């Protein structure tokens, strides 16, 4: 352990050190012990060619069987907190109706094991994994599904809320909107902006309804949402570029941030939806529910910036309406890259998000719920002792943490940092193409776990509460 006087970046007492994962990406056991199908199980069944190397969600990291071993490793590398998610289709196989006792037993065991190891469970209710029976009746397009989700959330609070004191209604809710209803990278592969708007509205409504249900139970915890806040940086100070970045931000960040924190939707976005004829259907009391049930705690996921400029060309009048009708993306000259993943690395973005939350969102209590570096072909960095020497990941985390530290010095109400992810996991259509974990998972050796160099480094950071 480093001597205390060697610590340059000291974090506040009680800072949350840990990582995040999701049910579908880690549990495995996709069709046993009463679990119902979710959209990923179904999509893999009908279109396995959509998934990298044909690897599906049944082959994920087998946390369902290895959770005790995994939680022991979490403790070993310095976790005092861990964000997991509950699989709606495991707990309530049809999405609405009977609760699966095997699932209750599993999640009780996991939560208790975490607490017994001094790790606080942060629990998400929805991480992209719509039960297939719910998708069949429209998914988030359907009010019936919103009501079913509220009942599911209430069930989770009643079953686990005596021990779980940090709840999150959704993870990155803009992603199912983009992936499922705009850009064709999630099931149901619909390209329809009007449906996308309805899905987004109903998702926000479902979040507010879950928050309302939670507060009515008086369980003395906190409830929030996890948003991927990707700053939209304009190419220049030219008013046209700046306007493009503001509109982009309204579509992809403020669409969920404003209603979650302020209980209202961004005016720029509402004006566009009205002008283009894409306002969602809703009932008058829906807006009151959203207004009166805002979050206690915000999870912030940050990976890379979004760089935006004014439109260069007129859009194709025959093409489906897309947000990009109002802006173009551009590649910034000289940008720093993750060569293993093809994403820009811009550490200051994490600071800009936190300062924006401080200045424009009441300095809401928040934490970095995901940040991480994906690497394809990471095995090439494994040394003769079997340890992956991921110095690039250590540098990535360090440089982001320096900016988090600076935001704290300037008054940001940020309470923790969770890496994506604890162990290498299955990543939606990319399967195991990119590795993100503190812990390596060897699929050829029954998912054998090995702590990477970054995991050992993180242990000392957590122990010293800084570096």
Per-residue pLDDT reduced to its tens digit, 444-460: 889 999 999 999 999 99
Length of the chain: 467
Per-residue pLDDT of 314-369, as tens digits, reads 888 899 999 999 999 999 999 999 888 889 999 999 999 999 999 999 999 999 99
Identify the CA nearest to 108 among candidates 133, 90, 128.
90
Domain that holds residue 190: 4-464
pLDDT at 32: 94
Other C-beta atoms within 10 Å of 360: how many?
13
Contact 261, 298 (CB under 8 A): yes
Identify the CA nearest to 24 among candidates 49, 48, 66, 59.
59
Measuring CA to CA, how many Å separate 206 from each of 39, 142, 275, 276, 292?
Answer: 19, 11, 26, 25, 13
Per-residue pLDDT of 96-153, as tens digits, reads 999 999 999 999 999 999 999 999 999 999 999 999 999 999 999 999 999 999 999 9
Instruction: Tell me the pLDDT of the chain averaged across its residues.
Output: 96
Contact 405, 351 (CB under 8 A): no
Per-residue pLDDT of 225-265, as tens digits, reads 999 999 999 999 999 999 999 999 999 999 999 999 999 99
- Give the residue numbers marked as catalytic: 172, 370
Question: pTM surpassing 0.95?
Answer: yes
Phi and psi (nearest 5°) for 83?
-100, 125
Contact 125, 170 (CB under 8 A): yes
Is the pLDDT at 443 greater than 90? The verdict is no
Question: The domain spanning residue 39 has which CATH number?
Answer: 3.20.20.80
**Domains held by the chain: number:** 1
* CB-count burial class (<10 Å; 0-12, 13-18, 19+) for 65: middle
H helices of 323-435, in order, are: 348-360, 391-409
Phi and psi (nearest 5°) for 368?
-80, 110
The helix/strand/coil state of 427 is coil
């Amino acid at each position: 352990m480093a001597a205390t006087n060697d610590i340059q970046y000291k974090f506040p007492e009680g800072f949350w050190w840990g990582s995040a994962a999701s049910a579908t990406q880690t549990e495995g056991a996709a069709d046993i012990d009463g679990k119902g199908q979710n959209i990923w199980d179904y999509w893999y069944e009908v279109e396995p060619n959509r998934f990298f190397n044909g690897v599906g969600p049944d082959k994920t990291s087998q946390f369902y069987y290895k959770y005790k071993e995994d939680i022991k490793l979490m403790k070993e590398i310095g976790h005092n907190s861990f964000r997991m998610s509950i699989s709606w289709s495991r707990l309530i196989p049809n999405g609405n109706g009977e609760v699966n006792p095997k699932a209750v037993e599993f999640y009780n065991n996991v939560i208790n094991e975490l607490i017994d190891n001094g790790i606080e469970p942060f629990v998400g209710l929805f991480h992209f994994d719509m039960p297939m029976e719910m998708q069949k009746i429209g998914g988030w397009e359907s009010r019936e599904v919103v009501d079913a989700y509220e009942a599911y959330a209430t069930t989770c609070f009643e079953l686990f809320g005596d021990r779980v004191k940090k709840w999150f209604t959704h993870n990155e809710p803009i992603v199912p909107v983009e992936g499922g209803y705009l850009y064709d990278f999630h099931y149901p592969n619909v390209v329809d902006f009007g449906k996308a708007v309805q899905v987004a509205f109903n998702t926000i409504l479902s979040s507010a309804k879950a928050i309302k249900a939670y507060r009515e139970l008086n369980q003395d915890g906190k409830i929030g949402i996890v948003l991927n806040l990707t700053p939209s940086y304009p190419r220049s100070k030219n008013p046209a570029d700046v306007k493009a970045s503001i509109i982009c931000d309204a579509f992809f960040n403020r669409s969920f941030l404003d209603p979650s924190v302020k209980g209202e939707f961004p005016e720029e976005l509402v004006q566009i939806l009205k002008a283009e004829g894409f306002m969602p259907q809703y009932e008058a009391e829906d807006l009151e529910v959203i207004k009166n049930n805002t979050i206690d705690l915000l999870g912030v996921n940050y990976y890379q910036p979004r760089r935006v400029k004014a439109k260069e060309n007129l859009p194709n009048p025959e093409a489906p309406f897309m947000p990009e009708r109002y802006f173009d993306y551009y590649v910034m000259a000289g940008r720093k890259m993750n060569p293993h993943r093809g994403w820009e690395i811009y550490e200051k973005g994490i600071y800009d998000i936190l300062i924006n939350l401080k200045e424009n969102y009441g300095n809401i209590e928040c934490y970095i719920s995901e940040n991480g570096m994906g690497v394809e072909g990471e095995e090439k960095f494994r040394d003769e002792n079997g340890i992956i020497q991921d110095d690039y990941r250590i540098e990535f985390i360090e440089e982001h943490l320096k900016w988090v530290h600076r935001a704290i010095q300037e008054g940001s109400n940020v309470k923790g940092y969770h890496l994506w992810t604890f162990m290498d996991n299955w990543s939606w259509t990319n399967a195991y193409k990119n590795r993100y974990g503190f812990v390596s998972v060897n699929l050829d050796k029954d998912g054998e776990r090995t702590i990477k160099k970054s995991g050992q480094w993180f242990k000392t950071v957590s122990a010293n509460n800084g570096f």
